[in-house]
Every structure is written in C-alpha cells, then in structure tokens.
Amino acid sequence: MPSPTVEELKARALRRIDQHREEIIGLAKSVLQEPEPGYTEVKTAQKVSQALARLGIPHQTGIALTGIKGYIPGGAGPGPTVAVMGELDSLRVPDHPHADRSTGAAHACGHHAQLGMLLGAVIGLTDPEVLRNLSGRIAVIAVPAEEFIDAEFRYRLRQEGKIGFLGGKQEFIRLGAFDDVDMAMMCHTTSAPEDGKLAVGGTSNGHIVKLVTFLGRAAHAGSSPWKGVNALNAANIALMALHTQRETLRDEDHVRFHGIMTAGGVAVSSVPAEVRLEWRVRAGTNEALEGANAKANRCFKAGALAVGATVRITSIAGYLPLLNNPLLQEVFLANAQRLVGKEGVVVHPPDRNRGGSTDMGDVSHILPVLHPYAGGARGTGHGNDYLVYDYELAVLNPAKAMALTVIDLLANGAVKAKEVKERFRPRLSKADYLRLQESRMGEEVYRGE
Ligand SMILES: [Zn+2]
Ligand SMILES: [Zn+2]
C-alpha cells in the first residue's frame, strides 16, 4: 500500500477534528465555567488530564504545581519533538459574566479556548493513519500561570520553595520541561478586528514586576498626625514621580508603568503605616526595560525620601519580548490561509508590539516558537466584556491550523521540523536565560529618614 500524501493526512486530521467538535468545544466551555488563576488550576488541569487519558495519551501532571506534559510518538521513526501548548489559568475580573463569585476569577483572556484548541489539535493528530506517518513526536503541554497576577501570593510560593519563577512557562524552563522539546507552538484568542480570523507575527513587551512596600509609622490621624509617618503619602509621591518619567520615554520602546495598590492603610483614624503596590514595568527591548526599571526604583525611593518613610522594593523577573520563528510562521501561515482564505489571515510585521507580555517570549529566546492569534472573541482583552462568541473561529480553526502545521513539520521524515531546528539560533542558552532572570530578582530597602 503506498503511503498517503501529506494532503491525505491533513484531510484525515481535519475530518477527525470536525467529528469531535462537541467534545473539543465542550472542554473549552467547561473550563470557562470554572476559572482558576495561575498555580491554582486544579480542576482545570484535571479536565485536561481526563481528556488526554480518554485519548490514551500518557502524561505527567503537577509540573510547576498544576502543569501537564504528555507525549505522542509518531510511527515513522525518530525525529524532532514539536510541542503543542495551551494555558490553564484565568484572570481575575470580578464583574465578568463568567466570573467565579467567590474568587473573582474569570477567563477574560480566552485561555479556556486554548485548552479546546490543544485538545482539538491532539485529536486531529491522533488519527491512527496520521500518526503512523509522522516522525519524531508531539509533546502535549498545558502550562499554568501565564497571566502575571497575584504576585504577592506567587512570591510567597517562591519563598516557600514551591516554585522558582512566577510565570508558568518560566518555571517549565527552569524545571527542564522544555529540555527535550525542539520547537513549540500555541495560539491565543483575540478580539481585535485588525487580527482578522487568524493572525501571525508581531511581538510583545518584556516586563519586570515590582512588589513595593512603603513603611511609615501609625499615629492618631486627628489628634497627632505629626507623630506619624504617612506611608500613603509616600506612595502618592512615588506615583506622581513615575508620571513625570513619561516624557523621558521613547515611543518606539513601548514603555508602560502601571499597577495596583494592594494595601492602602487599615483604619481611617490612623496615619497609614504600611502601603503596598504591585507594579509593572514593561518595554519592548531588554535595554529599555532595564532603563525604565531603574527610573521606577528612583521614583519609589523619592516617595520614601519626601516623607521620611522606608521603602522595600522587591523586583521579580517578568517576561521577555516574543520572537516568532519565521519558518514556523511560514508553515502555519499557509495552513491558516487554507482554512480561512487569504483575506482571513493577517500577517503583522515582526516589530509590531502588542504592548502586553507573554512567557512564550521567554521560551522564544531558547527554542523556535510560534504564538499566533485566533479571532472569535469580542470585547476588551482583560475587561469584563471579553467573551468568546464564535467557537468555530476561536477553537476549531486554530486547532486545525496547529494540527496541519504539525503534520507539515513531522511528515516526510520530519524534514521540515529538522530544517526549523537546524536553522534556529537561540538568543539565549537555557543557562544564560536562568542567569538573566535570576539577576532580575532582588530586594532593596531604602530608608528616607
Ligand atoms: Zn491575558
Ligand atoms: Zn492570555
């Protein structure tokens, strides 16, 4: 019997995904109903694990607390390992229509759709005839904690030795979960009309996370405020100082300073003695990021100095800018165009910065990576109106595009995957990556007395 053509394999994968559409969309919708923020995705991980078990895919659970990794060996001999990935975690947007009432957790970034895509791609690729003709293997990866939220909670996990980095893929890198992976891809939903039905290209900001604690002294706020040191005033001045930096920032560096106050005092009748900020510094290049981070540190100290408070600045390694691999992009693009037509696919230039950040950026400094976007969502990303309205666009299409891309990579003796691997020049070795990110971790205490 002659071996089937790549075209025949693709047709089989597409058919199988369509046959299982209820199950694939069902997983996404089930995850939507029970959102869990990073490093607490217990039920979500269970759902993914059960779906993989039903397909007979052996996998490990509990990697980086809640992550999952399994392997599907191809039947045509050895070759590279291609990872297909999805993100397990939700955000917290308490007034989102699908928010968990007690935790405020909500899928306002569409990660539930990613798990549907992951399952869909895996279902397409596990067609026995498809698998028999693929070389190498597929790694199936569900990662925790992409949204960089709950920094105080996660920093505590780090101090307790339960994690080393606060982002899930960072932690996967540290634990060696990418050591045997040669290239990786995932797809994110988008509500931006300029992304069309499927979008490739573009980059993201790098970032550094700041936990900032202003320490003053409590005193009666009515009778003797002069006996206190007002930590809230220190924080206010620091934030004003941060605003004054904006004219020093170049547009092309995409610098963002933003954050929240996680504690602003405890009783209105006391001079606030402890005020905490969870802050973020973002920029498009590592150099711009380091520069902006130094400015932020200066501003936090300025607040403490002005009122004679103390400030403790804890810096935490955030993400690196995303580098999409051009060869992987080329393969994905052709499949995307086949699925939704040439006019349905948008190609962004590599330097188009979305402003946000993803830990796929970290992976992309070490491995060839692809992080395209899929339409089918509407509303504002991370807002209370961000909803997936079309599961065909948001789940099935990207699942198909990823499955077809894996077939192109691993069919014909995995010649394409081998080419991607051979032509890739990593920006950082794993050791250099770990050194860079560890160097961004640190604590500084400044006394403004
Ligand atoms: Zn997000
Ligand atoms: Zn996201």
Q: Are residues 325 and 196 in the same domain?
A: yes
Q: What separation in Å is there between the alpha carbon of 363 and the centre of ligand 1?
A: 17
CATH code where residue 222 lies: 3.30.70.360
- State both tokens at 189: 């939903």
User: Phi and psi (nearest 5°) for 392?
Assistant: -65, -50
Q: Which ligand is nearest to the CA of 374?
A: 2
| DSSP-derived secondary structure letter, 333 | H
Name the amino acid, one letter, at 424. Answer: F
Q: Are residues 67 and 190 in the same domain?
A: yes
Q: What separation in Å is there between the alpha carbon of 245 and the centre of ligand 2?
A: 28
Question: Mean per-residue pLDDT for 370-378?
Answer: 98
Q: What separation in Å is there between the alpha carbon of 109 and the centre of ligand 1?
A: 5
pLDDT number for residue 155:
97
Q: Is residue 1 part of a domain?
A: no
CA distance 317 to 228: 34
Buried b / exposed e over 94-133, threshold 16 CB at 10 Å, is eebebbbeeebbbbbbbbbbbbbbbbbbbbbbbbeebbeb
Q: What separation in Å is there between the alpha carbon of 16 and the centre of ligand 1?
A: 30
pLDDT number for residue 1:
64
Q: Is residue 176 part of a domain?
A: yes
Tell me the helix, strand and coil percentages in the chain, rounded to 5.
40, 25, 35
Half-sphere exposure of 388 (CA within 13 A, CB side): 29
Q: Are residues 19 and 151 in the same domain?
A: yes
User: pTM for this structure?
Assistant: 0.96
Question: What is the β-pairing status of strands 373-374 and 198-203?
Answer: antiparallel
Q: Are residues 137 and 28 in the same domain?
A: yes
Name the amino acid, one letter, at 241. Answer: A
Q: Are residues 363 and 328 in the same domain?
A: yes
Band of pLDDT at residue 3, cut at 50, 70 and 90: confident
Q: Is residue 190 part of a domain?
A: yes
Q: What separation in Å is there between the alpha carbon of 194 and the centre of ligand 1?
A: 18
Q: Are residues 79 and 194 in the same domain?
A: yes
Q: Is residue 425 part of a domain?
A: no
Sign, CA torsion 169/170/174/180: positive
pLDDT over threshold 80, residue 10:
yes
Q: What separation in Å is there between the alpha carbon of 352 and the centre of ligand 2?
A: 17
pLDDT, tens only, 400-429: 999 999 999 999 999 999 999 999 999 999
Q: Which ligand is nearest to the CA of 87?
A: 2
Q: What separation in Å is there between the alpha carbon of 68 and the centre of ligand 1?
A: 20
Q: Are residues 289 and 344 in the same domain?
A: no
Q: What separation in Å is there between the alpha carbon of 381 and the centre of ligand 1?
A: 7
CA distance 296 to 140: 39
Q: Is residue 434 part of a domain?
A: no
Q: Are residues 297 and 325 in the same domain?
A: no
Q: Are residues 98 and 199 in the same domain?
A: yes
Per DSSP, what are the bridge partners of residue 447? 310
Per DSSP, what are the bridge partners of residue 323? none
Q: What separation in Å is there between the alpha carbon of 382 and the centre of ligand 1?
A: 6
Q: How far is CA 150 from CA 141, 206, 279, 328, in A?
A: 23, 18, 11, 33
Q: What separation in Å is there between the alpha carbon of 286 and the centre of ligand 1?
A: 21
Q: What separation in Å is there between the alpha carbon of 224 and the centre of ligand 2?
A: 48
Q: What separation in Å is there between the alpha carbon of 433 and the centre of ligand 1?
A: 23
CA distance 43 to 350: 36
Q: What separation in Å is there between the alpha carbon of 188 and the centre of ligand 2?
A: 7
> What residue numbers bound the domain in which 231 lies?
206-318+439-447
Q: Is residue 155 part of a domain?
A: yes
User: Phi and psi (nearest 5°) for 374?
Assistant: -125, 135
Q: Is residue 422 part of a domain?
A: no
Q: Which ligand is nearest to the CA of 91?
A: 1
| DSSP-derived secondary structure letter, 240 | H
Q: What separation in Å is there between the alpha carbon of 335 and the centre of ligand 1?
A: 25
Q: Are residues 88 and 23 in the same domain?
A: yes
Q: Which ligand is nearest to the CA of 190?
A: 2
Helix H or strand E encompassing 179: none
Question: Mean per-residue pLDDT for 175-180?
Answer: 98
Q: Are residues 263 and 402 in the same domain?
A: no
Q: Is residue 137 part of a domain?
A: yes
CA distance 329 to 372: 8
Q: What separation in Å is there between the alpha carbon of 302 and the centre of ligand 2?
A: 34
- State both tokens at 272: 């606030």
Residue 320's nearest CA partner among 288, 294, 297 is 288
First to last CA, the chain: 84
pLDDT, tens only, 45-66: 999 999 999 999 999 999 999 9
Question: Mean per-residue pLDDT for 17-41?
Answer: 98
Q: What separation in Å is there between the alpha carbon of 324 and the centre of ligand 2?
A: 16
pLDDT over threshold 90, residue 168:
yes
Q: What separation in Å is there between the alpha carbon of 147 and the centre of ligand 2?
A: 6
CA distance 48 to 115: 7
CA distance 15 to 64: 35
Number of domains in the chain: 2
Q: What is the mean pLDDT of the chain?
A: 97
Q: Are residues 89 and 48 in the same domain?
A: yes
CA distance 435 to 441: 10
Name the amino acid, one letter, at 91. Answer: L
Q: At what angle do helices 111-125 and 21-33 cross, to 10 degrees?
A: 150
CATH code where residue 165 lies: 3.40.630.10
Question: Mean per-residue pLDDT for 15-39?
Answer: 98
Q: Which ligand is nearest to the CA of 149?
A: 1
Band of pLDDT at residue 301, cut at 50, 70 and 90: very high
Q: What separation in Å is there between the alpha carbon of 88 and the centre of ligand 1?
A: 12
Band of pLDDT at residue 2, cut at 50, 70 and 90: confident
pLDDT number for residue 449:
87
